[in-house]
Structure 1
């Protein structure tokens, strides 16, 4: 437990309940892998007993395809081997495939917790963990937007929007999750297991998510850069300063001309007549 680290360096409690979904899936795929290997060996032996022909080639081709498919699934399970659900006194944790992808929902941020299930009698038994937020829900959260569903609440006062976490994808984790919820979820939040019709799971709102994403990225058709806006303003400021300076120089010149002394009269060449 000491190696698990959540948002802002928070860690689950040492006595937390851990459901190692990644390792369970890896083990299940390993069993399927060995089954395919045994069948492939049997097919190889059988094909050796058959004469060369279309039947032998088809048999070998089918089991080669199944081996490749099982190997591919095993590789995917190996990548997600660290995925796990953790429940402690603080809240619900989901450590996903990548180490930095951690979801943490404190109990005080939830209004209710339940497990929806179609039951074993359904054609495809399905179970999901329903987490009802107490306040507004982020429909575009990077890790949880695919898990948001809009459906009728199981009890009055609960929101329609909730996080729906699959528990029967490839392996059945409904039993361990229900036991962990009974132990860890506060009594006022836990609603227990609620039966649902076969087609209740639904699908994420991919179209709405893309529309909201495009709206957030939308920008004006043309935005002038800051340098282009600053340049005309600077030019206008320089022109205004030049005009003010020229006006000041002109005013100073006019004032100097007004205050200059009048020039002395030039001597005349005409001699005034002398009277005796």
Structure 2
């Protein structure tokens, strides 16, 4: 039995659908806050289990009879360690034989503020004694495509990334990696540093968007303080804006770059090229 936590999220949905192409539905379970959102999977034979990272008492039943768990990191920055600790402890008590965790690129050495909770979670998993796989995901291309509409409206994509190169891949690429480690043997106690095959700068990203849309778009590099003001002015909460700025600044120092090609080797195909990912987004 394979259990996917956070299964109704954007990454989780892709993982579950991919699993259903490889294993019988009866061998797939999902742990979700709102079972109603997973009713379509239940109709296909997936076991839907109510569980909430923030409610440890809900986790014991959710993990019963489970062999492998994909722990998709919580979206609640600042609360992740406590939430993940509850999940890891529940998995250990249930006798789970593998925990795969969606971490961050080079979590143990990354300068990104976001990395601290991932590093702590990896420590919790190691200390639990349960065999593990750390899927240290790099940036998602979708992190940038989600803001394309306002960028195109203003003719500028802004950030503090300089000409740093970003080895981004699509959510589907990272989902494929998770599916691979959950459905094939030989991954126990392995750390995978995952990124796209063809790193790009935000200037190159903007140029490709302009090429495909026929609309002017340039990358405008801003000092960190100014970029933070832009984000807050656009409605981003101050705390999260600081995290976004930090990630952008660190990417200017190649903290989001990766040349290992581990992701493409793991999934057995090249990662999705930027042009193709943008094309799919712009068609929607």
The structure with the largest alpha-carbon Rg is 1
TM-score range, shorter chain: under 0.3
